[in-house]
Structure 1
Amino acid sequence: MKQKLLVILLLFVSLYAFPQKNFSLKSPDAKIEIKIEVGQKITYTVIHQGDVMINPSTIALELEDGSYFGVDANVIKEKRTQINQVIASPFYKKDHIKDNCNELILSFKEGFDLVFRAYDEGAAYRFVSTRKRDFVVKDEIAEFHLGETSQAYVPYVKTNIASKTDPVFNSFENIYVHTPINQWQGDRLAFLPLLVEAVNNKKIVITEADLEDYPGMFIENQDKDTILKGHFARYPKRVEQGGHNMLQGVVKERENYMAKCDAKTLFPWRVISISSDDKQLLDSDLVYKLASPNRIGDVSWVKLGKVAWDWWNSWNLYGVDFKTGVNNATYKYYIDFASKQGIEYVILDEGWAVNLKADLFKVIPEIDLPELIAYAKERNVDLILWAGYHAFNKDIENICKHYAEMGIKGFKVDFMDRDDQPMVKFHYDAAKIAAKYKLLLNFHGSYKPTGLQRTYPNVINFEGVHGLETMKWSQDTIDQVTYDVTVPYIRMLAGPMDYTQGAMRNAIKKNYRPVFTEAMSQGTRCRQLAQYIIFEAPLTMLCDNPANYEREEECVEFITAIPTVWDETIALEGKVGEHVTIARRKDEVWYVGAMTNWDERSIELDLSFLGTDSYQAEIFKDGINADKVARDYKRQIIDVPTDRKLSVSLVSGGGCAVKIFKKKK
């Protein structure tokens, strides 16, 4: 009896000491509600028009000193704010963004704030430290409790890259596995963004924003239940030079904690984008809105555009009188091609620096960089250099200073393949130093974007995508066509993608095969053209070689005219994994791109956004035999119908690309 009374007394004391407190935050349109419960633990719930998107899920930070942000926490203050502003977005899919949300800040006695934001398009939360001393985060609890019948599009970490000793070492590029949540593949990790099919055909995409000086989040589900949990790389204890051509930092040993944090640390936003119609995901701005504002000031020097790229096509020129490869004669040919077509850049990918030395000041004898820079400048073309991570990170300041003074305009940095705290910090440090010398950065071999491109607008591209380069080695079991109509709803929601499209060798499903030196794409020629409109990339590659493009002048002229940043974007139609159609405007010219999966499809383009003026359209559509010969296409110029309806047929793996302009009077 005494024992029973003691249990009751302890329960009473616990409830009295940590009373449950409930808070609610709604989006401006009141369709999304975040419910927060604070007691012995903190949970949040996300509801959309009465449908539960995220069931009560626990969030907390465990600190190395044994204390917590979020366990036995005591609210001492609550503050509510409405944010309503316009964000300038000069290198984006639209030139400005309306940022409108309701914000709730809960301040806690234990030295932290918890910030929630409810947008019409989703929900987000972040921890903010208000401590007076620096501290160490041992672990983070980030749960996403989903419904019983939920399915997800899961981008698993590639097991042939990740090791059992360091499962977070990976390239962040894989196709999606469409699977029930409770059939998760064992202890495999998935990287973000990740899409979940929720109730009533609604979708949520889980990702993060404003990730700075803190490890990125993976997702795991070892229990194979309906609760996805965040997983984070431990802090590197011992890193050695190694990996690809000795250009990577290979973690040999890790600490038992995640991050070393300053007293006033702003932790990343955990982001949940919500859609009742799949096409809404194509035009989400949540990650950009939640990122820290521009830190470099004037961006007028940032020049965007297209790049004649060498690596995918293996420098395979033909019909020339010199031996092609990594040498000045080959790059002069690329420069001449770029100059003729109005292409802004040529990239010198891997090979221009001496191999296995990880030293960007050691240039191979076949390359005379000053001569190439001068040759390109005379032809109004600029050069970008490829750089392996370890070689670049050894001496970022002097490398940037040296090559900026020579006339190089940027770096494509590759093979980071980690997102632990030091690697995330590297991205910000590199961006800051590069901006100092007015250099662009394209982060290849990197994790997904989390808004760095807003904070440092000289960062113009990220990989973290299963791009066209994989077609050089992927077996025919890889379904790139389905991936192409899935990734715009998921990975592209986070930011631009260094997908590297533009193949002139195109294959129907049964004809595709991997060829490393003369690679091909899956799907039709018009699909490749459409990708220049659909896929976001302020710096966009032309992946094939100039000799092939010179045989396809009509397609090249169309590709090179397509802008790489936009004033306006409208998602017209789409369904995850099946098809996608997007319209984008630059000045007074509209472009529309559409792609399908392996299913033939007839689509009707709704062009009612054009208004009342008279328009013409230049259309590239799958040819009548494109189901047999994927490069077959038809180009035509027509008057846009007054009813603003335009019907187009897409073959299996097909696409179409449309340029719409006002009719000359």
Structure 2
Amino acid sequence: MTKLKLTMLALSASLAADALAAPRLTSPDRHISVEVRVTPAHTLQYSVYRDGKPVILPSDLGLELDGADFAHKLALGAASPVKIIQDSYDLAAGKKRHISYTAHEQVYTVQSATRQFMQVAFRVSNDGVAFRYIVRDASLPHKKFIAESTSFAFDKSAKAWLQPMQIAQTGYKNTNPAYEEHYQREIPVGTPSPLTAGWVFPALFRTGDTWVALTEANLDGSFHASRLQAESPGGKYRIGQPMAAEVFTGGARLAETDGDLVSPWRVIALGSLPALMESTIGTDLAMPAVAFDPALVRPGHASWSWALLKDDATVFDVQKKFVDYAADMKWNYTLVDADWDRKIGYDKLAELTAYAASKGVGILAWYNSSGDWNQTTMSPKSRLLTHEMRVQEFTRLRQMGVKGVKVDFFGGDGQSMIAYYVDILRDAAAAGLLVNFHGATLPRGWARTWPNLMTAEAVRGLEFTTFTQQDQDAVARHAAMVPFTRNLFDPMDFTPMVFGDIPKIRRTTRNGFELAESVLFLSGIQHYAETPEGMATAPAYVKTLLQDLPRSWDEVKFVDGYPGRYVIIARRAGDAWYVAGLNADDTDLLLHLDLSFLGSRAGTLVTDGGGEREFTQSTIEGGKRDISIKAHGGFVAVFK
């Protein structure tokens, strides 16, 4: 008898004993624990605890595949020995550069009524819990996903900060979903989503004194991306699936494979608010980085005409002006946006790229990802749909000296669309190109696996505030929300910062608020919305601050904040600390901040002056001190 058959017989005997619950798996510091059990109804459940108090109440686990039911009539086998997971990696575009990850992992095997087997792997780290499903059963050679039972149950007293998931084929020229709604703030758990497609990740909750962020990580293209379902009766949130239209033309919506079926990690980050804000669990669970020339991984800052000047500015002379602007600001890039192939052309783009290189500036070029999944017409369009097309286009760009691409207007979260993202990243990496995804899904840890992914939109960014006054009026609360949610683990291309006027819009934020975004928002390439004329209105010390602003960060410290109201974060680059904060409230805010981590050194504080468009500069010291932030205002303090 083979070793495999003996193992299966031993497992079957263990399953027959029908152990109802496995011992709790704890985090290395023993503050977080998870318990996995089979219920009397023979379904699989788990619970999560922090310091012995329940955080995630008994919640469901399980998958249904074509020909295999791993959600009902289950038996729980013996768990594997606890394995210590230790990992370290560097992240070019994140809240920390050098990251260490330690977790305890245990794998639970369950048997279906038809004697098929599935594994559920759990990891518990000091900042959260993650689990994923693995189906390797050889009796099921073709594994086709049907449904997932995963849920997250909260106490009814908990509060939630959630963004509605956009309905596929709605919005501008049928370009939704693009993760571009406002978060609903501090709503009772169980509140239905106003949109039937559900709620997006990350989803933020507070239960007692514990903060929780739900998300997923490690999409490799073999599985679809998920969200939370629209209905959550009693505070139990269930995993939802992409809608039928969220696919690459002719591609699959849900996971399907002839090999092993491995789901993304379902991630439950939890702890105090500072612990949550400093957590890197969203990238800790991503696959290690693919090979990519480190010399080409160049985070930076970019000038960008389209934010305020729109389509008419995508012409050679204006783009040359923005190259000069980037050079004057000591920024790394200029982004040339939609329709450059028609309004500038490949030959003139090559000329612009050469001119930019002479100024020490790299050119980034926009592309339309879409085939026929929306009605957009901006170009270059439909030139990235196949591997052969991408190789041809990317090779041409590299020969011209272009540094990267911005790819826009994706079609959602189906498996085939996620595979399309991964294929673009892979082919761009092979060509040595950086990537920025727009009209896109949440990156879910891709910035670790693909060092060439600098940023992604997946947010209702500044451009919306230039379209309607309603969005401008809402932007302060929105900007105070996204550091706790959308930008928690993944780079975010919000395209911040305007000091001057927005055409036909009354700007509602002060200049200090706008400046603070340059530090608070994390993006591998930060595309600034301000024009040369607007920047000319700022004092010289503001311009100098933006010229010297680090392109990446080594360390983060959450200082204070509350989602949707205010946020203060400190970031270190080398020996310099940058402390930034903004206040979304309609009244001035006096804060008692602990800056003792800065020691005795003094710094320079840049904040709002007397008027909405004015700055003031002064000296500030570390230690415990009061800082006042004007309504819709902000500050940046630099300690070197």
Summarize deviations over 1:71-95 as a string: whole Å, max 9, x none: 5244255231122343223332222
Distance 1:112 1:410 in 2: 42
**Aligned counterpart in structure 2 of residue 305 of structure 1, from 287, 300, 304:** 300
Give the equivalent residue in structure 2 for 1:183. Answer: 191
- For residue 255 of structure 2, what is the amino acid of its counterpart? A
1:78 is paired with a residue of what secondary structure? coil
Give the equivalent residue in structure 2 for 1:416. Answer: 410
* Higher mean displacement: 108-117 or 15-24: 15-24
Distance 2:605 2:33 in 1: 44
Aligned pairs for 1:293-332 within 5 A: 293-314=288-309, 325-332=313-320
Give the equivalent residue in structure 2 for 1:335. Answer: 323
Distance 1:123 1:578 in 2: 28
**For the structure 1 residues 437 and 279, does the alpha-carbon distance in structure 2 shift closer, same or farther, using more than 3 Å as the test?**
same
Q: Does the 8 Å CA contact 1:216/1:232 hold for their aligned counterparts?
A: yes
Give the equivalent residue in structure 1 for 2:512. Answer: 526
Aligned residue pairs, count: 596
1:67 is paired with a residue of what secondary structure? strand
Q: Does the 8 Å CA contact 1:93/1:567 hold for their aligned counterparts?
A: yes
**Aligned counterpart in structure 1 of residue 615 of structure 2, from 606, 623, 633:** 633
**Aligned counterpart in structure 1 of residue 45 of structure 2, from 18, 34, 43:** 43
Q: Does the 8 Å CA contact 2:247/2:417 hold for their aligned counterparts?
A: no
Aligned pairs for 1:193-592 within 5 A: 193-199=202-208, 201-213=209-221, 214-222=223-231, 224-233=233-242, 258-276=254-272, 278-314=273-309, 325-354=313-342, 364=344, 368-390=348-370, 391-394=382-385, 395-476=389-470, 478-505=473-500, 517=503, 521-554=507-540, 555-592=542-579
Q: Does the 8 Å CA contact 1:235/1:258 hold for their aligned counterparts?
A: no
Q: Does the 8 Å CA contact 1:79/1:106 hold for their aligned counterparts?
A: no
**For the structure 1 residues 585 and 520, does the alpha-carbon distance in structure 2 shift closer, same or farther, using more than 3 Å as the test?**
farther
Matched, 1:67 2:54: no
1:112 is paired with a residue of what secondary structure? strand
Distance 1:396 1:71 in 2: 47
Q: Does the 8 Å CA contact 1:61/1:70 hold for their aligned counterparts?
A: no
Displacement after TM superposition at 1:519 (Å): 5.4
**For the structure 1 residues 566 and 266, does the alpha-carbon distance in structure 2 shift closer, same or farther, using more than 3 Å as the test?**
same
Displacement after TM superposition at 1:415 (Å): 0.9
Displacement after TM superposition at 1:285 (Å): 0.5
Displacement after TM superposition at 1:377 (Å): 1.2
- For residue 122 of structure 1, what is the amino acid of its counterpart? G
Distance 1:500 1:218 in 2: 25
- For residue 175 of structure 1, what is the amino acid of its counterpart? H
Displacement after TM superposition at 1:113 (Å): 1.9
Displacement after TM superposition at 1:481 (Å): 0.9
* Higher mean displacement: 213-222 or 336-345: 213-222
Distance 1:427 1:159 in 2: 20
Matched, 1:136 2:150: no
**For the structure 1 residues 402 and 550, does the alpha-carbon distance in structure 2 shift closer, same or farther, using more than 3 Å as the test?**
same
2:149 is paired with a residue of what secondary structure? strand
**For the structure 1 residues 640 and 234, does the alpha-carbon distance in structure 2 shift closer, same or farther, using more than 3 Å as the test?**
closer
1:418 is paired with a residue of what secondary structure? coil
Summarize deviations over 1:397-432 as a string: whole Å, max 9, x none: 211111111111100111114111111111111111
- For residue 192 of structure 1, what is the amino acid of its counterpart? F
Distance 1:456 1:274 in 2: 26
**For the structure 1 residues 270 and 557, does the alpha-carbon distance in structure 2 shift closer, same or farther, using more than 3 Å as the test?**
same
Give the equivalent residue in structure 2 for 1:645. Answer: 624
1:548 is paired with a residue of what secondary structure? helix
Displacement after TM superposition at 1:224 (Å): 3.4
Distance 2:394 2:314 in 1: 22
Matched, 1:33 2:33: yes
Distance 2:169 2:603 in 1: 46
1:307 is paired with a residue of what secondary structure? strand
Distance 1:426 1:61 in 2: 25
**Aligned counterpart in structure 1 of residue 93 of structure 2, from 84, 87, 91:** 91
Q: Does the 8 Å CA contact 1:171/1:445 hold for their aligned counterparts?
A: yes
2:425 is paired with a residue of what secondary structure? helix
1:274 is paired with a residue of what secondary structure? strand
Q: Does the 8 Å CA contact 2:32/2:126 hold for their aligned counterparts?
A: yes
**For the structure 1 residues 476 and 309, does the alpha-carbon distance in structure 2 shift closer, same or farther, using more than 3 Å as the test?**
same
**For the structure 1 residues 647 and 479, does the alpha-carbon distance in structure 2 shift closer, same or farther, using more than 3 Å as the test?**
same
* Higher mean displacement: 205-214 or 520-529: 520-529
- For residue 497 of structure 1, what is the amino acid of its counterpart? M
TM-score scaled by structure 2? Answer: 0.87
Give the equivalent residue in structure 2 for 1:147. Answer: 155
Displacement after TM superposition at 1:315 (Å): 5.7
**For the structure 1 residues 364 and 541, does the alpha-carbon distance in structure 2 shift closer, same or farther, using more than 3 Å as the test?**
closer
2:613 is paired with a residue of what secondary structure? coil
Q: Does the 8 Å CA contact 2:18/2:77 hold for their aligned counterparts?
A: no
Give the equivalent residue in structure 2 for 1:321. Answer: none
1:481 is paired with a residue of what secondary structure? helix
**Aligned counterpart in structure 2 of residue 173 of structure 1, from 180, 189, 198:** 180
Distance 2:168 2:101 in 1: 41
1:157 is paired with a residue of what secondary structure? coil
Displacement after TM superposition at 1:370 (Å): 1.7
Distance 1:344 1:202 in 2: 40
**For the structure 1 residues 519 and 396, does the alpha-carbon distance in structure 2 shift closer, same or farther, using more than 3 Å as the test?**
farther
Distance 2:193 2:599 in 1: 50
**For the structure 1 residues 325 and 467, does the alpha-carbon distance in structure 2 shift closer, same or farther, using more than 3 Å as the test?**
closer
Distance 1:631 1:160 in 2: 40
Give the equivalent residue in structure 2 for 1:3. Answer: none
* Higher mean displacement: 61-70 or 278-287: 61-70
Distance 2:516 2:537 in 1: 19
**For the structure 1 residues 70 and 531, does the alpha-carbon distance in structure 2 shift closer, same or farther, using more than 3 Å as the test?**
farther
